[in-house]
Each structure stands twice: as C-alpha cells, then as structure tokens.
Amino acid sequence: MFNLNLPPFDIKVKKLNGKLTVFDPLRRKYVALTPEEWVRQHFTNYLITDKGYSQSLIANEIQINLNNLKKRCDSVVYDKYLSPLMIIEYKAPDVVISQSVFDQIVRYNIVLKVNYLIVSNGMNHFCCRMNYENQTYEYLPDIPLYSDL
C-alpha cells in the first residue's frame, strides 16, 4: 500500500467479498483496508512493539457523545485503571496535518479529557501533552514510552 515513517511489520491482508481487508488485532477482526486503516495498524503496532504500550490498553474506534452527536475516536489509550490517557487521530498519508485536524481531536478531548493527543498520517506524527492547570499544551519531540506516561 504505502511506505510509512513507521517500522514495517507482518500485516495480515486478505480479500473478502472482493475487497481488501486487514486484520485488526485490537478489534480481533478483519476491517476494510483504507489508507487511514493502513496508518492505524502500523501506528498501533509501533506503540506496542517499540514504545511498550499494552495491546489490552489500546482500543480502536471508540464512540463518544459530543454535543448530542455520536463521534468516534480513532484510537484511545488507557491507563491501568482503564481511564482514558491518550487520543490518537489518524489520517491517510496524503492528508496534510492541518489546524482542522488538531481541532477535531481537541473537540474529542472535551469529552475524554486525556493527557496526550497524537495526530499521525503515517509520515508525520505530532504529540501534545496537555496541561490543564495552566490551560496550555506542549508539543513533545517524540511519542513517549508508555512507562513515561
């Protein structure tokens, strides 16, 4: 599909009903293989294999209720008490990460109030740490290890 700025891995792709699908180990099923899904699978694999995140503490396609509208966070990372810790928003590799992308994830955070926000198109990854006390945020130079959250 696309070469990404993420480590390659043995991704499971197969054709179902004439369409390409990819196995999502977090949802334990095959899902439609879109460019965004390609990024999601590579990014979650990176978090698990390179950054020490537990597969059991990451969930994909988490529904939230925002102003009486049903929205979906692409991925949510939880702490050991199952409280939301991080929201991740994925875009296709050809989508430029713009202010509108950050606005989208910030709206989701109105509901979840997490400490970290990540946006990735598979080529560029941006991570912010929220500071609710000062009502500010800080861009981090890298995606943190789970043990550092």
* Residues 129, 115 contacting (CB under 8 angstroms): yes
* Residues 93, 39 contacting (CB under 8 angstroms): yes
For residue 13, tell me if it sits in a domain.
no
In the chain, which residues have pLDDT < 50? none
pLDDT, tens digit, for every residue of 95-136?
Answer: 999 989 989 999 999 999 999 999 999 999 999 999 999 989
Give the per-residue pLDDT at 112.
97
Give the per-residue pLDDT at 56.
97
In single-letter form, the type of residue at position 95 comes to V
- Domain CATH for 82: 3.90.1570.30
pTM of the model: 0.95
For residue 7, tell me if it sits in a domain.
no
Give the per-residue pLDDT at 48.
98
| Total number of domains constituting the chain | 1
* Residues 77, 85 contacting (CB under 8 angstroms): yes
For residue 94, tell me if it sits in a domain.
yes
For residue 110, tell me if it sits in a domain.
yes
In which domain, by residue range, is 84 found? 35-148
Quote the percentage of the chain above a pLDDT of 90. Answer: 93
For residue 104, tell me if it sits in a domain.
yes
For residue 3, tell me if it sits in a domain.
no
3-state secondary structure the chain: CCCCCCCCCCCCEEEECCEEEEEECCCCEEEECCHHHHHHHHHHHHHHHHHCCCHHHEEEEEEEEECCEEEEEEEEEECCCCCEEEEEEECCCCCCCCHHHHHHHHHHHHHHCCCEEEEECCCCEEEEEEECCCCEEEEECCCCCHHHC
